[in-house]
């Protein structure tokens, strides 16, 4: 069992930056693929970024590529999403998730554990 807790959300102006953190508890977190997803009001949850357990392979949604960076610190059981050059369309609730996979998946149905989400609001 893995429990995830996000932090770091907030209100920021367009062009600004935020760093989201996701603290994990439970055994063998370092063996899980981890991902970030987001959900805006009235929209479906969408993939943002994912990274394999080793941190060597990562994938990004086209909408955030070049602006967001996913990373993990396995000894600290924590993962991060550095978000730069934020846009109003990045406004959403951001969720971290963990999957018992060896690949970095974009599919939310392949993730086994989810955090409760943290709100990110980007003003224009």
Rounded Cα distance between 26 and 5, Å, is: 12
Kindly tell me if the per-residue pLDDT of 123 is higher than 80: yes
What pLDDT does 94 receive?
A: 98
Which has the higher per-residue pLDDT, 27 or 69? 69
Please, which contacts does 28-32 make with residues 24 or more away whose CB atoms are closer than 8 Å? 29/2, 29/74, 29/77, 29/98, 30/74, 30/77, 31/100, 32/2, 32/98, 32/99, 32/100, 32/101, 32/113
73-101 burial, b for 16+ CB within 10 Å, e for fewer? ebeebbbbbebeebeeebbbbbbbbbbeb
Q: CB within 8 A of 110, min separation 6: which ones? A: 99, 101
Q: Of 45, 70, 46, 49, which Cα lies nearest the Cα of 60?
A: 49
Record the tokens describing residue 46, joined without a space.
């969408």
The per-residue pLDDT for range 3-38, each reduced to its tens digit, is 999 999 999 999 999 999 999 998 777 788 999 999
Predicted local confidence at residue 53, as pLDDT: 87
pLDDT at 17: 98
Q: What local confidence, expressed as pLDDT, does residue 54 receive?
A: 86
Over residues 79-111, the pLDDT tens digits come to 999 999 999 999 999 999 999 888 889 999 999
Q: Indicate the pLDDT class of residue 2, thresholds 50, 70 and 90.
A: confident
């Amino acid at each position: 069992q893995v429990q995830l807790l996000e932090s770091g959300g907030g209100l920021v102006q367009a062009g600004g930056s935020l760093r989201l953190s996701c603290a994990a508890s439970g055994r063998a977190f370092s063996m899980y693929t981890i991902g970030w997803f987001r959900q805006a009001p009235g929209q479906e949850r969408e993939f943002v970024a994912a990274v394999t357990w080793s941190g060597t392979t990562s994938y990004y949604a086209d909408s955030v590529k070049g602006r967001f960076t996913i990373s993990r610190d396995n000894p600290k059981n924590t993962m991060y999403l550095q978000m730069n050059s934020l846009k109003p369309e990045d406004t959403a609730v951001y969720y971290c998730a963990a999957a018992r996979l060896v690949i970095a998946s974009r599919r939310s149905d392949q993730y086994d554990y989810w955090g409760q989400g943290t709100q990110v609001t980007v003003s224009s």
